């Protein structure tokens, strides 16, 4: 990986490219530029390098991995983004990890699970109500006809009534990170499922390991892509690179925010596809804790579910580590992200103190709040397809002008929203780019 200075020194004719670009005949600096060093970008670049293409990755952050990030800032590390290798039966990361000698066991579910309502153990009647609607989404997907018209998941559950429907869909806030009214039932049905594995040494660390040996320029946010000539011209604050083609793996949230200016603008079909996708807001907050553990079994899960729209799940002392991790999603997560780290931390400590006891506060030594919703390089957790827009992912994956490919979790079809899907999408784009003559 190179830093910004090395980018300037290492790229031939970079300064010259800034002037008189339109007048000169097209002479590419590189075969392919990949934008974004997350799972999709790393996987695409590896494929291209393997077939002998000159490829550089431009990454906005000062680190690689994107939304797969193992955060060690508290001491005990945790995955601030992706944690599970979903649908392990066909997920490429099982083999990648095995080849690197990295263990990927199933999650040990030994710590137990407790439900709370406003800090108190949930009453038996409320627990029964919750249990009665458990699994209703899958049941309705089997019985309700969505072949003629797509529905939102909220519509799918509508006949449960205003009291029970929000409870039935509340789990989506922690899986999809989005409100059920904004989730296409057809897209949801298309998502792959299977076994989940974990990476005890960190999924983010694993993705970073996979990026070793690639030419990655960090701290290089791409601000513009010109594609009106024979190839592409990609601008960062260090200058402009010319390439035959580029693979853009930035999250949908970044594309929708207009952080990268395309000239000419993206085709109407691609813009339509972007209009059909939003970013969910699955979010984590973590605390380093020391001292009393209040008799709680390491690895226990506590779910505060007094208000279904403001649920927060906690992993307490996972693997015996001095850490507590909270998970939440949807508009609640957006609200806390916008409120800022201090307010989010204070609110979450209040929730934990209500469940565990006031003395819990004394054990909190540090906190970190990776708020993906307000992160300028993601603008959310992962892409969610709006009701009626279930073709958006496939449209987004269509090549643009034979030289730009958008790839990432959002274009991964049934693998969307995952690291595995991003990887397959990155590889597919690379295979298409590799067919271009150089
Ligand atoms: C809280 C949370 C939990 C999750 N849990 C799981 C899970 O358990 N399992 C799972 O499989 N998935 C999970 N995911 C989703 C998973 O992390 C993503 O689907 C996957 O990492 C996306 O990879 P990607 O390469 O498509 O995008 P990214 O990883 O986002 O990579 C895109 C890269 O582009 C960079 N970038 C952005 N803008 C620019 C720019 N202008 N110029 C240059 N670079 C730019 C970004 O910094 C980033 O590095 C989770 C995500 C979150 C947020």
Q: Are 39 and 251 in contact (CB under 8 A)?
A: no
Assess whether the C-beta atom of 249 lies below 6 angstroms from ligand 1: yes
Q: Which of 359, 381, 403 is a domain's end point?
A: 381
Statement to judge: residues 364 and 215 lie in one domain = no
Q: Tokens 């200058």: give the residue.
A: 239
What residues does 216 pair with on adjacent strands?
57
Protein residue with least CA distance to atom 33, ligand 1: 36
Residue 92 belongs to some domain of the structure: no
Statement to judge: residues 160 and 29 lie in one domain = no
Assess whether the C-beta atom of 86 lies below 6 angstroms from ligand 1: yes
Of the candidates 57, 54, 53, the one whose C-alpha atom is nearest the C-alpha of residue 38 is: 57
Domain extent, residue 159, equals: 107-194+281-381
Q: In the prediction, which pLDDT does 130 show?
A: 87
Residues 435 and 438: their CA atoms lie apart, in Å, by: 9
For residue 410, count other CB atoms closer than 10 A to its CB: 31
Protein residue with least CA distance to atom 37, ligand 1: 377
Residue 324 belongs to some domain of the structure: yes
DSSP 369-422: ---GGG-TTTSSSSEEEPTT-TTHHHHHTS-BTTTEEE-SGGG-GGGTTSHHHH
Number of domains forming the structure of the chain: 2
Residue 305 belongs to some domain of the structure: yes
Q: How far is the CA of 101 from the centre of ligand 1 (A)?
A: 24
Q: How far is the CA of 114 from the centre of ligand 1 (A)?
A: 31
Residue 79 belongs to some domain of the structure: no
Statement to judge: residues 15 and 155 lie in one domain = no
Q: Which of 343, 363, 381 is a domain's end point?
A: 381
Q: How far is the CA of 429 from the centre of ligand 1 (A)?
A: 17
Statement to judge: residues 365 and 269 lie in one domain = no
Residues 287 and 317: their CA atoms lie apart, in Å, by: 10
Assess whether the C-beta atom of 222 lies below 6 angstroms from ligand 1: yes
Residue 186 belongs to some domain of the structure: yes
Assess whether the C-beta atom of 378 lies below 6 angstroms from ligand 1: yes
Residue 71 belongs to some domain of the structure: no
Assess whether the C-beta atom of 379 lies below 6 angstroms from ligand 1: no
Q: What is the pLDDT along the chain (438 residues), one digit of tens a residue?
A: 333 333 433 343 333 333 333 334 567 889 999 999 999 999 999 999 999 999 999 999 999 999 999 999 999 999 999 999 999 999 999 999 999 999 999 987 778 999 999 999 999 998 888 888 888 898 888 899 999 999 999 999 988 888 888 898 999 999 999 999 999 999 999 999 999 999 999 999 999 999 999 999 999 999 999 999 899 999 999 999 999 999 999 999 999 999 999 999 999 999 999 999 999 999 999 999 999 999 999 999 999 999 999 999 999 999 999 999 999 999 999 999 999 999 999 999 999 999 999 999 999 999 999 999 999 999 999 999 999 999 999 999 999 999 999 999 999 999 999 999 999 999 999 999 999 876
Statement to judge: residues 172 and 292 lie in one domain = yes
Statement to judge: residues 370 and 391 lie in one domain = no
Q: ipTM of this model?
A: 1.00
Task: Specify the CATH number for the domain of residue 416.
Answer: 3.50.50.60
The minimum-distance atom of ligand 1 relative to the CA of 259 is 41
Q: Is the peptide bond before 264 cis (omega within 30 degrees of 0)?
A: yes
Q: How far is the CA of 210 from the centre of ligand 1 (A)?
A: 15
Task: Specify the CATH number for the domain of residue 184.
Answer: 3.90.660.10
Statement to judge: residues 365 and 232 lie in one domain = no
Assess whether the C-beta atom of 60 lies below 6 angstroms from ligand 1: yes
Assess whether the C-beta atom of 81 lies below 6 angstroms from ligand 1: yes
Q: Which of 381, 396, 416 is a domain's end point?
A: 381
Paired tokens of 214:
């690639």
DSSP 53-80: --EEEE-SSSSS-TT--EE-TTSS-EES
Assess whether the C-beta atom of 417 lies below 6 angstroms from ligand 1: yes
Residues 189 and 194: their CA atoms lie apart, in Å, by: 13
Q: In the prediction, which pLDDT does 131 show?
A: 85
Assess whether the C-beta atom of 218 lies below 6 angstroms from ligand 1: no
Residue 234 belongs to some domain of the structure: yes
Q: How far is the CA of 30 from the centre of ligand 1 (A)?
A: 25
DSSP 266-324: PPHHHHHHHHTEEE---EEEEEEE-S--TTPPTTEEEEE-SSGGG-EEEEESGGG-SEE
Statement to judge: residues 376 and 285 lie in one domain = yes
Q: How far is the CA of 203 from the centre of ligand 1 (A)?
A: 12
The minimum-distance atom of ligand 1 relative to the CA of 417 is 19
Assess whether the C-beta atom of 82 lies below 6 angstroms from ligand 1: yes
Of the candidates 423, 412, 416, the one whose C-alpha atom is nearest the C-alpha of residue 47 is: 423
Q: How far is the CA of 158 from the centre of ligand 1 (A)?
A: 32
Assess whether the C-beta atom of 415 lies below 6 angstroms from ligand 1: no
Statement to judge: residues 173 and 291 lie in one domain = yes
Residue 334 belongs to some domain of the structure: yes
For residue 164, what are the CA distances in angstroms to 158, 301, 308?
9, 23, 10
Q: How far is the CA of 181 from the centre of ligand 1 (A)?
A: 24
Statement to judge: residues 288 and 187 lie in one domain = yes
Assess whether the C-beta atom of 422 lies below 6 angstroms from ligand 1: yes
Alpha helices (H) along 170-219? 171-175, 185-190, 203-210
Q: Tokens 């290798």: give the residue.
A: 85
Statement to judge: residues 339 and 257 lie in one domain = no
**How big is the CA angle at 62 (ends 56 and 64), to the nearest 5 degrees?**
60
The minimum-distance atom of ligand 1 relative to the CA of 377 is 37
Statement to judge: residues 251 and 114 lie in one domain = no
Residues 36 and 408: their CA atoms lie apart, in Å, by: 10
Assess whether the C-beta atom of 377 lies below 6 angstroms from ligand 1: yes
Paired tokens of 55:
């490829």
Assess whether the C-beta atom of 225 lies below 6 angstroms from ligand 1: no
Collect all residues with Cβ–Cβ distance below 8 Å to 18 and sequence separation of at least 6: 239, 240
């Amino acid at each position: 990986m190179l830093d910004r200075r090395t980018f300037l020194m290492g790229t031939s004719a970079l300064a010259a490219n800034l002037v008189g670009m339109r007048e000169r005949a097209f002479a590419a600096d590189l075969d392919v530029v990949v934008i974004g060093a997350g799972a999709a970008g790393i996987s695409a670049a590896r494929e291209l390098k393997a077939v002998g293409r000159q490829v550089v990755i431009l990454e906005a952050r000062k680190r690689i991995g994107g939304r797969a990030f193992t955060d060690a800032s508290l001491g005990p590390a945790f995955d601030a983004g992706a944690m599970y290798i979903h649908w392990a039966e066909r997920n490429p990361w099982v083999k990648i990890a095995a080849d690197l000698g990295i263990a990927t066991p199933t999650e040990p579910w030994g710590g137990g699970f407790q439900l709370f309502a406003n800090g108190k153990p949930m009453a038996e009647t409320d627990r029964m109500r919750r249990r009665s609607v458990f699994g209703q989404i899958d049941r309705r997907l089997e019985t309700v006809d969505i072949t003629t018209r797509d529905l939102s998941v909220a519509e799918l559950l509508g006949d449960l009534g205003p009291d029970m429907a929000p409870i039935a869909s509340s789990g989506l806030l922690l899986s999809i990170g989005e409100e059920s009214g904004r989730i296409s039932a057809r897209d949801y049905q298309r998502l792959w499922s299977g076994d989940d594995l974990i990476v005890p040494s960190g999924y983010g660390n694993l993705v970073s390991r996979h990026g070793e040996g690639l030419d990655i320029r960090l701290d290089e946010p791409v601000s513009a892509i010109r594609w009106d000539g024979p190839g592409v011209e990609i601008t960062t604050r260090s200058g402009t690179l010319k390439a035959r083609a580029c693979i853009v793996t930035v999250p949908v949230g970044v594309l929708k925010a207009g952080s990268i200016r395309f000239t000419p603008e993206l085709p109407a079909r691609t813009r339509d596809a972007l209009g059909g996708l939003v970013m969910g807001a699955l979010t984590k907050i973590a605390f380093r804790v020391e001292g009393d553990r209040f008799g709680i079994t390491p690895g226990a899960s506590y779910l505060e579910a007094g208000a279904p729209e403001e649920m927060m799940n906690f992993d307490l002392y996972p693997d015996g580590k001095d850490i507590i991790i909270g998970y939440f999603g949807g508009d609640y997560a957006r609200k806390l992200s916008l409120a800022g780290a201090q307010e989010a931390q204070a609110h979450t400590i209040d929730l934990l103190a209500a469940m565990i006891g006031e003395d819990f506060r004394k054990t909190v030594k540090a906190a970190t709040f990776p708020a993906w919703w307000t992160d300028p390089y993601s603008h959310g957790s992962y892409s969610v397809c709006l009701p009626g827009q279930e073709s958006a992912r496939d449209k987004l994956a269509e090549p643009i002008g034979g030289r730009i490919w958008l790839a990432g979790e959002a274009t991964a079809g049934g693998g969307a929203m995952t690291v595995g899907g991003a990887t397959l999408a990155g590889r597919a784009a690379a295979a298409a780019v590799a067919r271009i003559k150089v």
